Amino acid sequence: MRYTEPKEQTVTLLRLALAQMGQHDARLNPLTFAVFYEHLAGINPRLSEAFEQAVSLQPRLDDEAVRRLHDQFVAEVDDAEAERIRGDMHKVMTEIAESAAHTGRTAGAFGAKLDGLSGALASSDTAALTPHIHEALAGTQEMQRSVESLRHQVVSSEREIARLRSDLMRTREEATRCPLTRVLNRRGFEQHLDTMLAQPPQRGTSHCLIMIDIDHFKRVNDTHGHVVGDRVIAGLGEVLRSVPPEPGMALARYGGEEFAILLPSATLPRAAQVAEAVRARARAMKLKHRQTQEVMVTVTVSAGVAAWHPGEDGHALVSCADAALYRAKESGRDRVTVA
């Protein structure tokens, strides 16, 4: 269970959380409450550290800042799936231990038989030698069977552990993937952004970020409904995946109708070319009515491109690309603007 604080303490934390939430711009919803609660309860040190850093840069946290904290430090891999993997791993290790213990007991018994045979060989009583030889032969066969059984158990367990490791990687992947667009979600974007900025770019390049927004998306939802809106978002996910990949490129749905492309060790002109490819392919995307095949929606996107400068953090890079995106919107939409 994630929250184990006694009732009296939770009441106090509830009041403190509500009081602090009122001092910020983020909406009062369960997501915001979870961030403030875990920070005030002191049960999530990594969140608290990031929270204090965020407040130092932005004294009044907005929805985006709080969502970023939640996705990166509060949201987790599905508990039931993680528990299943832990249980299966424990079972595998227990089976190996039991098999190894059985082999050890068999080896001990075999050693005792060999000691008896050694003693019989040292004596001159040939009649006493025969049963010891038979015991040693039987012990040898039992030892061979036990060792072979252990070998099979180890091989089988190695396969099972590999399967469980694959399950865990898949679960973690699903936790950072948007199911609608099949690109990274906000949490996955934050992780890839941190990883990218932790590595210095290659000489003559910089880490680049493209922020992309669907033009007039609210109009699409208002006119055609959220089902068609979801088709537009899913379609842009397909457009992003269709763009020829660059080394290390990561695609993400940043939130709502906004997407992002991370380009490690790239140049601004090259990043602008990638953004232009997305814009052109999105413009060619047309959503048709399923029965009449009549074109319902023609999609355009605007994009902002920015390059990271040494000493900047991820927030600065996102802000710079967002500012370029805003200028593209102001300039008439359906265009790429470079910071």
Known catalytic residues? 257
**Strand, helix or coil at 16?**
helix
Round to whole Å and give the CA distance between 230 and 179.
Answer: 11
Amino acid at 209: L
Buried b / exposed e over 188-198, threshold 16 CB at 10 Å, is bbbbbbeebbe
Round to whole Å and give the CA distance between 333 and 145.
Answer: 74
Measure the CA angle with vertex 232, ends 228 and 233; round to 5°.
115
Round to whole Å and give the CA distance between 64 and 254.
Answer: 10
Rg (CA), the chain: 31
CA-nearest of 221, 218, 216 to 231 is: 221
Residue linked to tokens 């049963």:
131
- Give Cβ neighbours of residue 129 (< 8 Å, ≥ 6 apart): 117, 120, 121, 123
Check: CB of residue 177 under 8 Å from CB of residue 184: yes
CB-count burial class (<10 Å; 0-12, 13-18, 19+) for 293: exposed
Measured in Å, how far apart are the chain's first and last C-alpha atoms?
46
Round to whole Å and give the CA distance between 62 and 80.
Answer: 32
Which ranges of 123-207 does DSSP label H, i.e. alpha helix? Answer: 129-175, 186-197
CA 69 to chain CA centroid, Å, is 15
